Amino acid sequence: MASLDDLKKRIASVKSTQKITKAMKMVAAAKLRRAQESAEKGRPYSEKMNNVILNLSNGISDKENAPKLLSGTGQEKTHLCVVMTSDRGLCGGFNSNIIKKAKGYFAKILDEGKELKIITVGSKGNDQLKRVYGDKIIENISFKESKNANYFDADKVGKMVIEKFEAGEFDICTIFYNQFKNVITQIPQAQQIIPLNNEVEENSSEESYEFEPDEDEILSNLLPKNISTQIFKAMLENSASEQGSRMSAMDNATRNAGEMVDKLTIEYNRSRQAAITKELIEIISGAESL
């Protein structure tokens, strides 16, 4: 059995860990509220953007000559995967969930004999992926300096993706992120952004739009923006998910630490009691022998 001193030290150490996790939980809760708010505020933009593009692609007359960002290169050889993770750890299964999802997808692509390129956003994802897929990672971006997800960062990633697309470096682009459902549940998502996955909604009214300038020109202007928008949306969802995940992870950690302190305290008291009893017996038996 551990000595009394050791137990005392352990209790103190667990207690201070508990203090840290408790503080982290509260910080995450405050940040979560803000992140969630901005994720919700960001939704109208991406929804409207989607609507406009849907209307446009319905209105486009010449499907053959549609911009490549919409219709694809006609090949499916090279896949680019943008894996978006956080820059900080201690957030439960947040990063591992995305990585797991992404790895499953990578394995599928490689099995089919296709080429794979990876861009990691956030340093945690890079750390986890570089061991296995180090040679496939072509770019690693991290926004450690920016406090909150902002559009300019997303735009940077978006522009880079488009640049690579125009240089013919890949055919299909998929982004991986965690969608925020609630504090306990975040769903890892794989979303294809190039070519745009057209959810064919035939119910969209037959209303015709007037375009100025023509559809093609608007589309070729709009599609790059849409990429950035989608990435921005993913970043917002990610940051809300990260905080949510961290909050519940830290909540669990605090509770576990509490249980541990209770257990250790009982053990401490017992051994103290045992030591006292032992001393008493020694005194009594010593007195008796006289």
In the complex, the smallest distance separating the C-beta of residue 46 from another protein, rounded to whole angstroms, is 8
Of 151 and 268, nearer to another protein (C-beta) is 151
φ, ψ for residue 121 (rounded to 5)? -110, 120
Check 11, 70, 84, 91 and give the catalytic one. 91
Of 112 and 206, nearer to another protein (C-beta) is 206
Give the span between the Cα atoms of 196 and 68, in whole angstroms: 9
The verdict on whether 173 is a catalytic residue reads no
Give the span between the Cα atoms of 122 and 197, in whole angstroms: 25
Contacts with another protein by CB under 8 A lie at 38, 41-42, 44-46, 48-49, 51-52, 55-56, 150-151, 154-155, 207-213, 218, 221-222, 225, 229, 232
C-alpha distances in angstroms, 82 versus 24, 69, 137, 228, 234?
Answer: 29, 16, 10, 12, 11
Of 87 and 155, nearer to another protein (C-beta) is 155
Check if the beta carbon of residue 176 is closer than 8 Å to that of residue 96: no
In the complex, the smallest distance separating the C-beta of residue 232 from another protein, rounded to whole angstroms, is 5
In the complex, the smallest distance separating the C-beta of residue 74 from another protein, rounded to whole angstroms, is 25
DSSP state of 63: G
In the complex, the smallest distance separating the C-beta of residue 239 from another protein, rounded to whole angstroms, is 13
Rounded to 10 deg, the angle between the 215-289 and 151-166 helix axes is: 120
Q: Which residue has the tokens 């496939």?
A: 136
Of 86 and 230, nearer to another protein (C-beta) is 230
DSSP letters for 249-274: HHHHHHHHHHHHHHHHHHHHHHHHHH
Nearest to 158 by CA among 76, 219, 99, 84: 84
In the complex, the smallest distance separating the C-beta of residue 171 from another protein, rounded to whole angstroms, is 24
In the complex, the smallest distance separating the C-beta of residue 107 from another protein, rounded to whole angstroms, is 34
Check if the beta carbon of residue 46 is closer than 8 Å to that of residue 229: yes
Of 172 and 218, nearer to another protein (C-beta) is 218
Within 10 Å of residue 214's Cβ, how many Cβ atoms?
Answer: 11
Nearest to 56 by CA among 163, 215, 204, 186: 215
Of 62 and 111, nearer to another protein (C-beta) is 62
Catalytic residues, by residue number, are: 91
